[in-house]
Amino acid sequence: MTIQQVFFLAVAAITLFAAVMVVSTRRIMHAALWLILALFGVAVSFALLETGFFAVVQVVVYIGAIAILIIFAVMLTRQVFLDVGPQLNRGWWIPAVLVAGLYAALVGVLSTWSGFQTQAAALPEAASDLSQFGLALVDVNAYAVPFEVASVLLLGALVGAIFVASDRKGVER
Amino acid sequence: MIPLSWYLIFAAALFCIGLFGVMARKNAVAILMGVELMLNAVNINLLAFWRYLYAPDFAGWTFVAIVLVAAAAETAVGLALIISVYRRRSTVVVDDLSLMKG
Amino acid sequence: MTFWNDPVNFIGQWLQSVLVSWGVAPDVAQIILLVLGAGILGVLGLVWVIFLIWYERKIIGRMQDRLGPNRVGPWGLFQPFADMFKIFTKEYITPDGADVVPYNLAPVLAVAGTLMIWGVIPFASTIFGADISVGVLFIIAAGAIGELGILFAGWGSNNKYALLGAFRSVAQLISYEIPMVITLLIPVMFSGSLSLQTIVQSQSLWYVLLAPVPALIFLITQIAEVGRAPFDLIEAESEIVAGFNIEYSGLKFGMFFVAEFLHAFTAALLFAVFFLGGWRGPFAEQFPLLGFVYLWIKTFAVYWFTVMIRGTVPRFRIDQMMDINWKMLTPLALVMVLVTAVVHALVRPIGSPVVSLVALLVANLVMLVITLQFIRNSARARRRPMVAPSTVVVARPEPQPTQSNPE
Amino acid sequence: MDWLYIGVFMLVAAFLPAAAITAAGFLAPKKPNKVKSSTYECGIETVGESWVQFKAQYYIFGLIFLIFDVELVLLFPWAVAYNKLTLFGIFEAVLFVLILLAGLIYAWRKGDLEWI
């Protein structure tokens, strides 16, 4: 085992443990804290994939914005704050079994795939060149449409979310 | 070096944990957290496939960027809905929110 | 390569040869040096804060017609050391019901979020931590870590004031992060890279000349990100007693202050790197140490300016602060990016740097005039309703003559 | 190698303050008592739980921030490629930013940018 492999295993273990804590811990605020750790682990695994851009973007968007927004929402919905009582549905073992089965099926199907054990080739120089990505994003023959659609989607999300969240005439508590 | 399989198994595990959270949690905010985990697992898969099979082509990156955009939109609208519902009904426990039960 | 040309790499190579001669594998020796370099840079960054505290107290003291620290050591230079030893022996008081892990993690994250930035700053042409290809985004990510520290502090303290302060701080920080990130697009556009070293190297003309208005916006947002006066609502003592760090004591409290001073200096450093040409100057390429001196001079000029602002401008109200950001800085920054992109692209085919400089300067000036006109108009519109009610006669109680004067 | 340095430096940046805090913990006295470790609230007994509810205003600012953040992340690759772009590519980004501005103006008109 190389150092890189050991490092990957450690990161994966921490991330998965944090993810398990996210779905199982009782206090919702602690779930948010564990979520941040899990997201950070994913960012590190992006860096291991030699996509530094997305490793940093993961921290900026997920930890810097989405996690903070989730924490805000947790604090805005106070009544579940101290989180007495079980946080899982009564029949929680049914999804657990289903998910375990799904996982086994996924890994089983994947392991029959011929490309399963592919080793990484050296990354071509062009692949880490952000300006190529930028050119592709505005190239009509490449990804110009997704680029513009993304902005429209975000505009829709912004308008919709503001409309929903700020109903001043709604029931104020 | 790390083979592709490790990333796929890791991502699959993360996806399944997220899915469990979505199915088993009572709290709507916690369900959204599960969705975030699932989206992250998808991103790991996309980037791993890109890295190992399609490296110089930027289709994988565009996919990841779009997933990020979708995640942002989903979180914003989802949490706004949760907050709005909480204001009216004072609960975020999903079981209590069935409109049909009245 | 002689010592004076490139001292850091000279020492590094010398150490590596020593380690290899001791029988350490070259790879391992390199990693040892890497850890050593990171450790030294981190320690220097934190020790530098001690000097910054003295410097700032001295300036603020002079501005308030005082002497500032002047007893301990020459010019009071050892005063921060005395303060440091004192704070090291203070008791930690953890409030009842605190959420221990976030509570203790918060000061660490606050400092780490600022110190991390030092890892990517090019101090000279050969003196830098790491020159990663996404340095600009890394700086934004480090800011996100700092915000997390504040949120943890507010949450972990089990205190209403702390939580309220944390919410306010985070609302302020994330708001001002938007124009900051937008203006960062402009150096990236000109230099065609996210790496800070490349941004510095491509500034044969300082970007502050090509984009004065975005530079100004960046400076304002940096002051706000640090949470200094006039944007110090983060710790508005008169409103929310001290903000998010109210329940901290001893060095945990001190760490928030270390983070603030370090961040103030780092903000000046970033401004110098992005808009004032970083380490560039005459002979800086040949003698990296000279480049380091240039960078430090530029940084201190900016830092002195921010301290001046801190000492002279009164605090904003929170609604004013939000208005400044969302109704002025953000739209202006977005429009500036558009104007700069279009103007620069239009004059680029001419191929003369003088023409693009003049065109961009004119564009900036026009935008500045338009913005000022907008502000004037909206201020006038806002003033009008304030005048009207004053014509209404309000019955005021007569001031009572005081019986006895306590003095 | 650069990323290794970044990783190490992040660990160092977290370790140094933690070490300082721990070291000061050994030097400092430890005499907690009931009054000292009670929540500081201007001398008045704490009323109710401290984790109070907040108004939705904070959430709306976080929301606008999130949307802008994601859009800007998409703009950074464009900015890197700026010097190689044709005028058409630049106008595409102009359209992108204008759509972004439309969202901001909507929030402004709706009065959600006012601090209340």
- Asked if residue C319 lies in contact with residue C327, where contact means CB atoms within 8 angstroms, the answer is no
Q: Give the number of other Cβ atoms within 10 Å of residue C79's Cβ.
A: 20
**DSSP, res C234:** G
Show which subunits contact D, needing at least 3 CB pairs below 8 angstroms.
A, B, C
- Does any CB of chain A come closer than 8 Å to the CB of residue C7? no
| Phi–psi pair at B58, nearest 5 degrees | -95, 15
Architecture of domain A1-84: Up-down Bundle (1.20)
pTM of the complete model beyond 0.90: no
Q: Which residue of D has its CA nearest to C198?
A: D80
More confident residue, D113 or C39: C39
pLDDT band at D88 (very low <50, low <70, confident <90, very high): confident
Which of D58, D80, D96, D110 is the best mutation test for C, with the most CBs of C within 10 A?
A: D80
Q: Spell out which residues of chain D touch residue C87, defining contact as CB-CB under 8 Å.
A: 24
Which of B29, B39, B83 is the best mutation test for D, with the most CBs of D within 10 A?
A: B83
- Asked if residue C299 lies in contact with residue C266, where contact means CB atoms within 8 angstroms, the answer is no
Cross-chain residue pair D69–A52, CB shorter than 8 Å: no
Query: What CA–CA distance (Å, rounded) separates C268 from C170?
Result: 21
Check contact C-B (3+ Cβ pairs < 8 Å). Answer: no
Which of D1, D2, D96 is the best mutation test for C, with the most CBs of C within 10 A?
A: D2
Query: What CA–CA distance (Å, rounded) separates C103 from C153?
Result: 5
Does the CA dihedral C320-C321-C326-C330 come out positive or negative?
A: positive
Does the CA dihedral A19-A23-A29-A30 come out positive or negative?
A: negative
Q: Which residue of C has its CA nearest to A73?
A: C167
Does the CA dihedral C160-C164-C169-C171 come out positive or negative?
A: positive
- Does any CB of chain D come closer than 8 Å to the CB of residue C8? no
Query: What CA–CA distance (Å, rounded) separates D107 from D116?
Result: 14
Cross-chain residue pair A110–B19, CB shorter than 8 Å: no
Q: Spell out which residues of chain A touch residue D108, defining contact as CB-CB under 8 Å.
A: none
* Sequence spans of domains, chain A: 1-84, 129-173
> Mean pLDDT score of chain A, rounded to an integer?
82
pLDDT beyond 80 at A66 = yes
The CA distance from D105 to the nearest CA of chain A, in Å, is 10
- Does any CB of chain C come closer than 8 Å to the CB of residue A134? no
User: How confident is the model at residue B59, as a pLDDT?
Assistant: 84
- Does any CB of chain D come closer than 8 Å to the CB of residue A165? yes
User: How confident is the model at residue C238, as a pLDDT?
Assistant: 57
| pLDDT 10s digits, A115-133 | 777 777 777 776 677 888 8
By three-state DSSP, how is residue B53 classified? helix
Q: Where are the beta strands (DSSP E) in C138-259?
A: none
The CA distance from B2 to the nearest CA of chain A, in Å, is 6
Cross-chain residue pair A128–C133, CB shorter than 8 Å: yes
What DSSP assignment string belongs to C383-406? HHHHHGGGGS----PPPPPPS---
- Does any CB of chain B come closer than 8 Å to the CB of residue D81? no
Cross-chain residue pair D73–A61, CB shorter than 8 Å: yes
Query: What CA–CA distance (Å, rounded) separates D95 from D89?
Result: 10
Q: Spell out which residues of chain B touch residue A158, defining contact as CB-CB under 8 Å.
A: 76
What DSSP assignment string belongs to D3-64? HHHHHHHHHHHHHHHHHHHHHHHHHS-----TTTTS--STTSPP-S-SS----HHHHHHHHH
User: How confident is the model at residue A20, as a pLDDT?
Assistant: 92
User: How confident is the prediction along chain C (407 residues), in pLDDT tens digits per residue?
Assistant: 567 667 777 888 888 888 888 877 877 888 888 888 888 888 998 889 988 989 888 888 888 888 888 888 888 888 888 888 888 888 887 777 778 888 888 999 999 999 999 989 998 888 888 888 888 999 999 988 888 888 888 888 777 777 777 888 888 888 999 999 999 999 999 998 888 998 998 888 888 988 899 999 999 999 998 877 788 766 655 555 667 777 787 888 888 888 889 999 999 999 999 999 888 888 877 788 888 899 999 999 999 999 988 888 888 877 888 888 888 899 999 999 999 999 988 888 887 888 888 888 998 999 899 989 988 888 888 776 555 555 555 555 555 555 554 44
Q: Spell out which residues of chain B touch residue A19, defining contact as CB-CB under 8 Å.
A: 14, 17-18, 37
Which of D63, D65, D80 is the best mutation test for B, with the most CBs of B within 10 A?
A: D63
Nearest CA-CA partner of A135 in C136, C183, D99, C192: C192
pLDDT beyond 80 at D82 = yes
Cross-chain residue pair B68–D67, CB shorter than 8 Å: no
User: How confident is the model at residue D60, as a pLDDT?
Assistant: 85
- Does any CB of chain D come closer than 8 Å to the CB of residue B69? yes
User: How confident is the model at residue D35, as a pLDDT?
Assistant: 66
Which of C104, C134, C178 is the best mutation test for A, with the most CBs of A within 10 A?
A: C134
Please report the residues numbered 59 through 88 in chain C whose beta carbons come closer than 8 angstroms to any beta carbon of chain D. 87-88
H helices of A49-143, in order, are 52-57, 67-76, 93-111, 130-138
Query: CB-CB: which of D56, D67, D74 is closest to B65?
Result: D74
| pLDDT 10s digits, C356-399 | 888 889 989 998 999 899 888 888 887 765 555 555 555 555 55
Q: Which of A90-94, A156-160, B50-54 has the lowest mean pLDDT?
A: A90-94
- Does any CB of chain C come closer than 8 Å to the CB of residue A68? yes
Show which subunits contact A, needing at least 3 CB pairs below 8 angstroms.
B, C, D
